[in-house]
Structure 1
Amino acid sequence: MGPQTLSVSDILARRAATGGTDRAVIADDGTCDFDGLEMGAARMAAAFAAMGIGPGDRVGLLLPAGLAFAQAFFALARLGAIACPLNTRLSAAELADILALSGMRLLLHHREYSSTAEALKLTCPDLRRQELGALDLLADTAPPVPAHPCQPTDSVLLVFTSGTTGRAKGVLITHDQMLWASLTMVPTLDMRAGDTHLLPVPLFHVGGLSFLLHCVHLGMVLVIPPRWEAETVLTLIESERVAHFFAVPVMLADLLDAPGFALERLQSVRWVMGGGAPVPIALIRRYADLGIPLLQTMGATETCGPGVVVDAANALRKAGSVGRGFFHTELRLRDESGKATKTGVPGEVQLRGRHIASGYWNDPEATRQSFLPDGWFRTGDIGVMDEEGFVTLVDRARNKIITGGENVYPAEVERCLADLPGVQDVAVIGLGDTRWGEIVVAVIVPHGEPPTLERIKAACEGQLARYKHPRKLVLRATLPRNATGKLLRMQLRDDVDQNGS
């Protein structure tokens, strides 16, 4: 028998056994040490088991970030079940697609999202729904259950991300991949046992969950703010002596621009990390002027979070780059024929490591296209590599728009607008924005009276999350297309960027 590989629930159990009274989570809905996190997860696992949840079952989590979310994640891992964290900003229609694709057995939701859960009852009548408070009451009487002996290749997460067609794709992640997402961070980032890490990003993104597990793995305190509000976050950083945190660029800028900002409030911070959208070089310099390295990073749901990062020593010198691979993460660039590109020549960024996901849920064709047989994951991002191995992105091959750290794919918005009265042709593009990184722009060829921006937003309401709604409307007589009718999206984006509306 070979050496044991730790499951997600094993990691928490071992941390509780070695440092049970150490602080673990500080959140709006509760605070606990590692013993408390372990006991809370075991208690919630008993309640799930009483509802018939077992190995391999998918359970949706429609919950705000906090202690209950963390306990639910570890509880499902303890049972060998698969957590399916759901973006709380999605519409009921979007969530219904995910529920149908995943074959979800149960939806656990917070009372804050009761109206969404009720709306889902109409489209998914067979779905079992349980409010968090009711599950807590059930846990009072549910008999305890032993931890399921999970194998390294057993799935623990099913995270849905929009595909290039705008349709959701489920990324399947195993216990071993989550462990290695943590292991690749250990020698890469200056994170130490006993540190306090702030997590202002949602736990429904895999990046949030990978930091959650990493904090448990290393024995760090995790501070989860109830929402992003610059003054609240500054107060938490100051009072809890936060050492490091990850945030999207708009958050990082908000912090420095807050009326109550003062350098002494960040005295405990050794570094911050920015990702989810390109980090402006000017913002990296502002943090450097404060003596705080801002590490730009790039990852994906398919990489369980870690991908490439600029280390602290090079944060300013390599400002604008997304960095080199994490310690246990291989990085390469390939041209369209699959050959290695030379220094300074654009190529697709590809990553390989034991933290790369298994593939897409029930989608062998998409898996074949993105996950190569030899373990490399095709990110679809185009970059150039310098002589030191640092990569700078030059385009997103899949036309993805990143606004405020959230992914938007043009196809899903275009579908929503195509049948709107007054629309003859439509294209959706992203334009650079100093606050949001990019904003969603609808370019419309009108037929008769064109719709207003307000009418366009109204058409998206209830169908798309609000961050996907266009913030700008541009009218054009025609859209640039090639001989086969394919939209020349880059040409359109350049035209709108240069000539506006």
Structure 2
Amino acid sequence: MEKVWLKQYPASVPEQIDFGQYPSLLALLEESFKKHASATAYKFMGKGFTFAQIDEQSRALAAYLQSQGLEKGDRVAIMMPNVPQYPVAVAAIIRAGLVVVNVNPLYTPRELEHQLKDSGAKAIVIIENFAATLQACYAAVPTKKVILASMGDMLGLKGLIVNYVVRNVKKMVPAFSLPNAVRFKDAVAAGRKAAYRAPDTKPTDIAVLQYTGGTTGVSKGAVLLHRNLVANTLQCEAWYQPALKKMTPGEQITTVAALPLYHIFGFTSNMMLGMRMGGCNILIPNPRDIPAVFKDLSRERIHSFPAVNTLFMAMANHPDFNTVDWSHLRISVGGGMAVQQATAKLWLEKTGCPIVEGYGLSETSPTATCNPTDSDKFTGTIGLPLPGTELKLLDDDGNEVPPGTPGEIAIRGPQVMAGYWQRPDETAKVMTADGFFRTGDIGTVDDRGFFRIVDRKKDMILVSGFNVYPNEVEDVVTQMPGVLECAAVGVPDAKAGEAVKLVIVRSNPAVTEADVRAYCEANMTGYKRPKVVEFRNELPKTPVGKILRRELRDKAA
């Protein structure tokens, strides 16, 4: 495919970037700690932490991990929400020459056991709120070294109060027994007395095992090398430049970290990009507690907000929205799932800052495409390939499809993973001979090089031989007054093979099935209209906010 998209790049975005400027993520971190030492790196519950403080604590924790007999390449799991111990742990693991295994804190014992066994993690840094989950599978996993954090660890005297409330008032720490666990603060204190040895980390060493979400079946570890994450951090920084030019010169960029840092979107867009740019991240431990989010943000001057559609929508519809000063917001990045037109329209009306939608996967570190950050409107596309990235559209046999035809999006670039951890068979299914990663997402491209997702291969509904793409149905129905959100799935149908089922969450309880059907009749051709309409109070979602269509499909079947 000819790289027509390069002609659409804003003037301040380079076509190529020197990805070799850092030999590893370790080199990037070390430079940032020195360069931005006195700047605030994170804010949590009103308290700020400088780059120098994160530097000192992570170096001590790295020395502690080395003192425990962990050797270069060993895997260490992290199971925490967005608390300051999270970036300390990530930096420590990388500085010790080890591999980060990001774990979703809301996992069940079964899911946690699978990931710890699959990764072979020898150690875990876990917050006590989820220690009971680890206890339930501890005997079955190879993870015997446990570092136990608590919510208030890094908050000084205030932390004692926070821990008391979390444990005794909110009762958020179920009883557990992990006799060999070492407290986070004790591990850091011990590390201060231990010798630290800087590892010889190469671009091709593994930095992170990022497990793919359960939306497509068994969770597999995407192997992200140091060079993959360095490349994507530099690509994102270059892509942000047009928006950053609108900031006051010399002002530190402040970013909302509501995306979970254990999710690759938050890991790169918040933590790694923040390190590289010397930015400050406002850590939001629970983005579902919208009033608490507004309380945290009301104290801040915010420039950047990466989030998923569900969070943008929940916030824009909340009565506390205007308690935050949005006038300094320069970049709103939507990813993780399709951004819906109704959400984008409302967000632009309320903030004056359009959502620029991007696209990527755990396998691409994650960002592969994004809309230009100097856009003044929502495009409904996933934008252009980032510098150094190529996309093409393939048919089922791996041949490139002609222009205007939908095909499977395939990506090649420095951010593409090395493969799936210890699964050469699964890797072979998704990697082409010429180095493209087959995403399983169906897309189209226009003559300017803007890509659009029409849907996932597996989510496509086949009605009497016609392809129905759930994203399209959902995008139409969410623009109907009184509909908060919805999901479209295929259900078996004796006549048509499959039919469309629509599950709706209403913002106005007066909306009826007849209203929905009339709206669909006015806006969609016959075979795309839902045969089944169901109302629910909420939709099943992954912790990052992606709607689990598979769960709705399974229940319907």
TM-score range normalised by the length of the shorter chain: 0.7 to 0.9
5+ residue gaps, structure 2: 1-18, 151-182, 245-250, 462-469, 503-526, 535-557
Counterpart residue number, 2:43: 26
Q: Identify which of 278, 286, 295 aligns with 2:356.
A: 295
1:208 aligns to 2:266 (yes or no)? yes
What is the CA–CA distance in structure 2 between the aligned matches of 1:286 and 1:175, rounded to whole Å? Answer: 38
1:135 aligns with 2:184: yes
With 6-15 and 98-107 compared, the bigger mean Cα shift is at 6-15
Q: 3-state SS of the aligned residue for 1:262?
A: helix
| 1:192-242 C-alpha deviation (Å, 9 max, x unpaired) | 572111110111111111121111111111111121133333344442211
Contact persistence 2:124–2:143 (CA under 8 A): no
Residues 372 and 442 of structure 1, relative CA distance in 2, 3 Å threshold: closer
2:354·2:378 contact (CA, 8 Å) conserved in 1?
Answer: no
Structure 2 distance, partners of 1:73, 1:317, is 34
2:155 is aligned with 1:106: no
CA distance in structure 2 between the partners assigned to 1:5 and 1:15 by the alignment: 12
Specify the SS of the correspondent of 2:416.
coil
Give 1:84 shift.
0.4
Aligned pair 1:188/2:233, yes or no? no
Deviations 1:293-346 (A, max 9, x none): 11112110001021111224446262x211111223222212223333333210
Q: Distance in 2 between matches of 1:287 and 1:347?
A: 31
| Cα distance between partner residues in 2 of 1:377 and 1:297 | 17
The residue type paired with residue 33 of structure 1 is T
C-alpha displacement of 1:48 = 1.3
- SS across alignment from 2:232: helix
Q: Is the 8 A contact 1:24 1:221 kept in 2?
A: yes
CA distance in 1, matches of 2:329, 2:284: 16
Tell me, yes or no, if the aligned pair for 2:294 and 2:323 is still in contact at 8 Å: no
Range with bigger deviation, 307-316 or 267-276: 307-316
SS of 1:278's partner is coil
Matched residue SS, 1:240: coil
Pair 499,17 (structure 1): closer, same or farther in 2 beyond 3 Å: closer
Query: Is the counterpart of residue 231 in structure 1 residue 291 in structure 2?
Result: yes
Cα pair 1:238 1:266 within 8 Å, conserved: no
| Partner Cα separation in structure 1 for residue 347 and residue 388 of structure 2 | 28
Q: Secondary structure at the match of 1:147?
A: coil
Distance 1:56 1:98 in 2: 17
Matched, 1:169 2:226: no
Comparing 328-337 and 252-261, the one that deviates more: 328-337
Gap change, CA 1:123 and 1:442, over 3 Å in 2:
farther
User: Given residue 199 of structure 1, which amino acid in structure 2 is its aligned partner?
Assistant: A
> Does the C-alpha gap of structure 1 residues 155 and 208 become closer, same or farther in structure 2, counting only changes over 3 Å?
same
Deviation at 1:128, TM superposition (A): 3.5
Partner of 2:392: 332
Mapped partners of 2:388, 2:323: distance in 1: 35
- In structure 2, the CA distance between the partners of 1:386 and 1:122, relative to structure 1 (3 Å rule), is same
Gap change, CA 1:219 and 1:131, over 3 Å in 2: same
TM-score (normalizing by structure 1): 0.79
Q: 2:387 is paired with a residue of what secondary structure? A: coil
Distance 1:436 1:382, change over 3 A: farther
Structure 2 residue aligned with 1:149: 200
Which residue is equivalent to 2:542?
A: none
Runs of 4+ in 1 over 4 A off after TM superposition: 162-165, 429-443, 478-482, 488-496
Q: Does 1:346 align with 2:395?
A: no
Alignment of 1:25-424 (within 5 A): 25-28=42-45, 31-124=48-141, 127-132=144-149, 134-142=183-191, 143-162=194-213, 166-190=217-241, 192=244, 194-211=252-269, 212-228=271-287, 229-262=289-322, 265-290=325-350, 291-314=352-375, 316=377, 318=379, 320-399=380-459
The Cα shift of 1:125 comes to 7.1
The Cα shift of 1:260 comes to: 1.9
Superposition deviation, residue 436 in structure 1: 8.1
Letter in 2 for 1:251: L
| Distance in 2, Cα, partners of 1:268 & 1:262 | 14
- The answer to whether the 8 Å contact 1:304/1:357 transfers is yes
Unpaired segments of 5 or more residues in structure 1?
Answer: 402-428, 444-477, 483-487
Partner of 1:419 in structure 2? Answer: none
Report if aligned partners of 2:254, 2:281 keep a CA contact under 8 Å in 1.
Answer: yes
* Cα drift, residue 480 of structure 1: 5.9
In 2 relative to 1, CA 284–491 (structure 1 residues): closer, same or farther, beyond 3 Å?
closer
Distance in 1, Cα, partners of 2:142 & 2:190: 28
SS at match of 1:168: coil
Secondary structure at 1:72 match in 2: helix
d(CA) in 2 for partners of 1:308, 1:59: 30
CA deviation map 1:123-145 (0-9, x unaligned): 33764433236132033123031
CA-atom RMSD, angstroms? 3.0
Compared CA separation, residues 62 and 55, structure 1 to 2 (3 A):
same
Aligned partners of 2:267 and 2:137: how far apart in 1? 25
Q: Which amino acid in structure 1 is aligned with residue 106 of structure 2? A: R
The DSSP-based 3-state class of the residue aligned with 1:120 is helix
Residue 21 of structure 1: CA displacement? 0.5
Query: Does the 8 A contact of 1:273 with 1:296 survive in 2?
Result: yes
- SS of residue paired to 2:333: strand
Q: Cα–Cα, structure 1 residues 186 and 377, in superposed 2: closer, same or farther, change >3 Å?
A: same
User: Quick one: structure 1 residues 103 and 140, their matched pair in 2 at CA, closer, same or farther if it must change by over 3 Å?
Assistant: same
Give the TM-score taking structure 2 as reference length.
0.71
What SS class does the counterpart of residue 531 from structure 2 fall into? helix
Q: Which residue of 2 aligns with 1:497?
A: 530
- In 2, Cα distance between equivalents of 1:3 and 1:344: 36
SS of 1:54's equivalent?
Answer: coil
Q: Distance in 1 between matches of 2:143 and 2:285?
A: 32
3-state secondary structure, aligned to 1:208: helix
Q: Which amino acid aligns with 1:173?
A: L
2: CA distance, partners of 1:261 / 1:157: 36
Pair 1:173–1:389, CA change in 2 (3 A): same
Residue pair 1:199, 1:224 contacting (<8 A) in 2 also: yes
Question: 1:238 touches 1:265 (CA, 8 Å); kept in 2?
Answer: yes
Shift of 1:176: 1.0
Aligned residue identity for 2:385: G
Deviation at 1:244, TM superposition (A): 0.9
* One-letter amino acid of the counterpart of residue 195, structure 1: I
Shift of 1:122: 4.1
Give the length in aligned residue pairs.
433
C-alpha change, 1:437 and 1:374, in structure 2 (3 Å) is: farther
